[in-house]
Amino acid sequence: MNEAVPDAGRPLPRLRELDAVRGLAALAVVFGHLALIFPAVANASRSNGLTALDAVLYSPIDGILDGGSAVIVFFVLSGYVLSLSYRGGRQTYPGFLSRRVARLWLPYIAAVALAMVLATLLGDEIVHAASSWFNARWYGSVGITSVLEHLLLIGHFHDESQYIPVIWTLVIEMRISLIFPILLAALAVFGWRLTVLPAALLTFVAVELATHSSGDFMTLSYIVCFIAGAALADHHEKISALMSRTTSRHRVLLLALALLLFTYDAWMPPHLLPGPLGAVARLEGTRIVLETVSALLFISLARQPGRARAFLRSAIPQYLGRVSYSLYLLHTVVLLTVVHIIDPGNDGLLLALVVPMFLLSLLLADLGQRYVERPAQRLGRRLAARVEGRPPSAAMAAGSAELSGTEAPL
């Protein structure tokens, strides 16, 4: 490994800029779901011609609404920071899982329980001004099978049956967390080229298997995100040295490239490239790989000293980073509840609800972070200390990476 490894008993420094990257990615997910309430957005098509809406949805501007691409950023961030937590024997596998499960699962269960109660009270009513995407959520009664599937994080959690539309990412996050040490071992033994490149090829194979066999294979398609993030952390010093020799103009160009790759699925016309090249360009695997590259660029630029990092360390991005996981989990609960209760009769009233719903989501996320996430983190550290046979202070040091820049909000 090229980056210096801190002493195992010393907490890792907080990567505050990556907190902000996580927060901004969560914001894209929130904006995307707020937009999907509207039938015009949910039913948008390139065949509508050049309209003001299409100019946003089918251009790089779509990045502010692209929750699917933001998920790739979360996965790469997980690989990056979780790899740091393993350096120098900072934690054991049982300790890692204890912290990881407590950090992710307990806030998730609280959010799902709230969503199920509200869905039972409100969900069967159709909101005619809202989109089909909106009305497909919370429809139908809460059954024991659904409760158990959500409790155990099993099942495919298709959008139509989800109480929280983002939890499919948690299934993937938890599955890959179980094998993450194996991925790190492969990276250490074979090097980044012989791990990242095969993982990228696996993405294409897994997508095909998921399409023609079982949706469970989609988990394999995201392994490349975690491995790429870990490889970036492994080579941070070398990449930082390269970045330090770039000018501010070069970094703006790299940022523009990252934004183009991040929004690739939006702005790339489906028939721009002819023949086999066009067919490859339209593959889901291509999107995942290119967006993984964009996430690597975002992280590299964020960690480089300069104006971008200074902005990411400022108050608002830092606040978004702090509440990002709860915001990710709870914003659709707010959205669905408010629109069901008010039942707006037209687009104008629906539009008027957007800002209040966003502010209410931030408020609920702040409360969730304070009163659910923090206790879950403390419990995770205590459990890790017990399974590792270490005092709680040592467990806190070993687990500090998960609190220092990027427990992905999944």
Per DSSP, 369 falls in state I
Q: Is the pTM of this model over 0.85?
A: yes
Helical axes 284-303 vs 223-234, angle rounded to 10°: 30
Predicted confidence (pLDDT) per residue in 264-308, tens digit: 889 988 777 777 877 888 889 999 999 999 999 999 999 999 999
Q: Which residues contact 369 (CB under 8 A, 6 or more apart)?
A: 322, 323, 325, 326
Longest CA pairwise span in the chain (Å): 64
Average pLDDT, the chain: 86
Percent of the residues in the chain that have a pLDDT greater than 90, as a whole number: 55
Neighbour-count burial of 345, counting CB atoms closer than 10 A to its CB (0-12 exposed, 13-18 middle, 19+ buried): exposed
Question: At 43, which amino acid appears?
Answer: N
CB 287 within 8 A of CB 293: no
Alpha helices in 191-283 (DSSP H): 193-212, 218-221, 223-234, 236-244, 248-262, 264-267, 275-281
Cα-based torsion angle of the residue sequence 320, 361, 147, 219 in order, rounded to the nearest 10 degrees = -40
Predicted confidence (pLDDT) per residue in 28-66, tens digit: 999 999 999 999 999 888 877 778 888 899 999 999 998
Measured CA to CA in angstroms, residue 158 lies from 133, 136, 359 at distances of 12, 11, 28
Extended strands (E) in 20-62: none
Per DSSP, 373 falls in state I
In this prediction, residue 409 carries a pLDDT of: 42
Question: At 204, which amino acid appears?
Answer: F
pLDDT-wise least confident of 67-71, 153-157, 214-218, 321-325: 153-157
pLDDT-wise least confident of 8-22, 35-49, 358-372: 8-22
Residues, the chain, total? Answer: 410
Predicted confidence (pLDDT) per residue in 327-337, tens digit: 999 999 999 99
Measured CA to CA in angstroms, residue 7 lies from 13, 87, 98, 321, 387 at distances of 12, 9, 22, 26, 21
